[in-house]
Amino acid sequence: MTPNPSSIRLHPEWRALQGVAYGLREPTAQGGIDVVLPQDYSFSALDEVMRPLFDEEIALPQETSSTAESMVHRLLHWHTVAQRQQKIPVFGNSRIVSARRVAGISQFMVAVPYHSPQATQQAMDWIVKTLNDLLNMRDPKAHAARAMRDFEGLVKSLRVHALGGINNFHLLRASHDLDIPARALFGDTYCFGYGANSRWLNSTQTDQTSALGVHIAASKRKTAHVLRLSGVPVPRHSVAHDERHALELAQTLGYPVVIKPDDQEQGRGVSAGLRDDAALVTAYRAALEHSRTILVEKHHDGEDYRLTVLKNRVVKILRRSAGGVTGDSVHTVAELVASSQETPRFRNYFRQHGKPLLHLDDEALGLLSECGLSPDHVPGAGCFVALRRKNNISAGGIQTLIPVAQAHPDNIALAVRSVRAALLDLCGVDFLIPDISKSWLETGAVIIELNSKPQVGYALAPEVYGQTLKELLNGDGRVPVHLLLCATGLDCPDAQQLQAFMQERNCNGLAAAQGVWVDGARVGDAENSFHAARIALLDKAITGALCVMTVEDILRHGLPADRFDSVMIAGEDAASHADKLALAHSQAMLKGGAARAITSAPQSLRSR
């Protein structure tokens, strides 16, 4: 049958391996792609339609053998970028494993990184369908608007697979950039590194974060009490038992005051700068939607700073201000809000959350009214109009990076002491002070809140995530890992042979289909040799591991590690023809980064 003039088809038999393969460092899916495309095909119109959908420029190989190969590279690039834009962590480059041409059809076997198999399939299916539609149109550019509308449907379907919060996505990005192995464990918890050098993180809570510290930071009352016991300045507040009591507390403290839930974060339910009873009642009722324990707190003037403290060191300082617009003497407040939706930050937020980051809601209209303004007001050039009562980035707040060196040493010391007092190792400190370059002992200041799982943020200081991982792991988090690849189960050496080899390589961990050993003691069983290796690499007692695996397990599950210090093969000489084919396939899965060199096992490790 003659193929269509131009077409792309995904093979139905794709496999998602548990492990990695073909030089990728993330869980790997593998499958086939068929392409029919004229050799003189021009990509200019197609690229012009697809480019606005993605926020990363495509980097194609300098040389490709055909337009079909160029098309596959585009497909492999776009499907990962579509996922990354929705905070689905797929960072590695996909690979073309093999290519051939049969009856006018270019057939490719590819390997792609995945985090969610469903997200990868959805992205691949959408891009293939879109490309097929555009390939058979006389003028693809005429259908750009339709492609954009259809892309929003893909975005919505991918959004359900996105990682929660900000930190995990960027920690995983940093680990990939720094060549630190990472593995999903459960929920939002990941293991970075191997064995004794590994660390577990749930967002920015680490395996050494104190449970008691988390408990303290989860309550603004308890946080303030503990800090006050340590001599740290904190604002006065009390729990309001009901609306009438809240009004009484405000009168006692004196306006302006702040309403805040005791047990929420990211500014949920917080209203600051309340100056009268009506505003307080509105804020109190809004806060009740988030918590049953509401604080009335004395408002303190000053600049709002978030200091991120890691292991007794401030690693990042942000100055935060409430969301709003800056006038230009031409446009109204409403027009400025509308134009803000077209900025990259706001577009990205809308793409990820399906709602605007800043709009003229009741809170914004109330603030305008307090200032005697309306949405039709035209602010002067450079005049800032606040439309939010809180400074959180999640509420449209504006953040400015402050070099740590600009902060007065007394303020740095106060932030570190606050974190130490609350028994935390990695913490966000919300600090109100008139000028962070001057000592709090001179100007006065208060610590408003501690966050035991701070959202560090990427845009202003992306390097902080990498710094955090390197400091926690003391490097790349790796331990020596050696692989002994057995052509069949009969080729695996006995325990005595393996123990001697382990001593030569300074390995104290052994993983094989029969189980896992640490320091000579058997510590557990395993379903197969892949499972055994994964157990060993997660064990913090292991300073070096020998993984004994069969070809069958590698082909079925993938590789348990992204890199091995050595790879040896046992049984290649005695293997049957079928075994040799399987062995060659497994060796191909090792190439591209996992194996520095593949050698035959020494005679001492051969069982037959």
- 44 inside domain: yes
3-state secondary structure of 22: coil
Higher pLDDT, 61 or 476: 476
Tell me: do 365 and 498 sit in the same domain: no
Tell me: do 361 and 260 sit in the same domain: no
- 191 inside domain: no
pTM score of the predicted model: 0.88
DSSP string covering 26-74, please?
S-EEEEEEEEE--TT---HHHHHHHGGG-SS-----S--S-HHHHHHHH
- Among 349, 367, 387, the domain-final residue is 387
Higher pLDDT, 430 or 61: 430
**How many angstroms separate the CA atoms of 117 and 19, rounded?**
13
Tell me: do 21 and 146 sit in the same domain: yes
Tell me: do 344 and 279 sit in the same domain: no
**378-392 average pLDDT score:** 84
User: What are the DSSP E strand ranges found in 268-408?
Assistant: 271-274, 294-298, 303-310, 314-321, 324-326, 384-386, 398-401
**pLDDT tens digit string along 86-139?**
999 999 889 999 999 999 999 999 999 999 999 999 999 999 999 999 998 888
**pLDDT tens digit string along 505-545?**
899 999 999 999 999 999 999 999 999 999 999 999 999 99
Tell me: do 145 and 266 sit in the same domain: no
Q: What is the DSSP letter of 595?
A: B
Tell me: do 70 and 108 sit in the same domain: yes
Tell me: do 25 and 152 sit in the same domain: yes
Q: Assess whether pLDDT exceeds 70 at residue 209.
A: yes
- Burial class of residue 266, CB neighbours in 10 A (0-12, 13-18, 19+): middle
How much is the pLDDT for 1?
42
Backbone angles phi, psi at 73, to 5 degrees: -60, -40
Percent of the chain clearing pLDDT 70 (strictly above): 97
Beta pairing class for 509-512 and 545-550: parallel
Tell me: do 354 and 286 sit in the same domain: no
The enclosing domain of 254 has a CATH number of 3.30.1490.20
- 377 inside domain: yes
The residue range of the domain holding 29 is 7-159
Tell me: do 150 and 17 sit in the same domain: yes
**pLDDT tens digit string along 548-596?**
999 999 999 999 999 999 999 988 776 787 888 888 888 889 987 676 6
Provide the number of structural domains found in the chain.
4
Across all residues in the chain, what is the average pLDDT? 91
- pLDDT class for 352, splitting at 50, 70, 90? low
**371-391 average pLDDT score:** 86
**3-30 average pLDDT score:** 91
Tell me: do 356 and 486 sit in the same domain: no
Q: Assess whether pLDDT exceeds 60 at residue 2.
A: no
Nearest to 201 by CA among 162, 174, 161: 174
Q: Assess whether pLDDT exceeds 60 at residue 173.
A: yes
Q: Assess whether pLDDT exceeds 50 at residue 4.
A: yes
Give the Cα-Cα-Cα angle 340, 345, 346 (nearest 5 degrees): 45
- 204 inside domain: no
- Among 367, 387, 407, the domain-final residue is 387
Tell me: do 33 and 68 sit in the same domain: yes
- 416 inside domain: no
As given in the structure block, the two tokens for residue 559 are: 């590789």
- 358 inside domain: yes
How much is the pLDDT for 319?
93
How much is the pLDDT for 384?
87
How much is the pLDDT for 597?
67
- 471 inside domain: no
- Among 357, 387, 417, the domain-final residue is 387
Tell me: do 32 and 144 sit in the same domain: yes
- 530 inside domain: yes
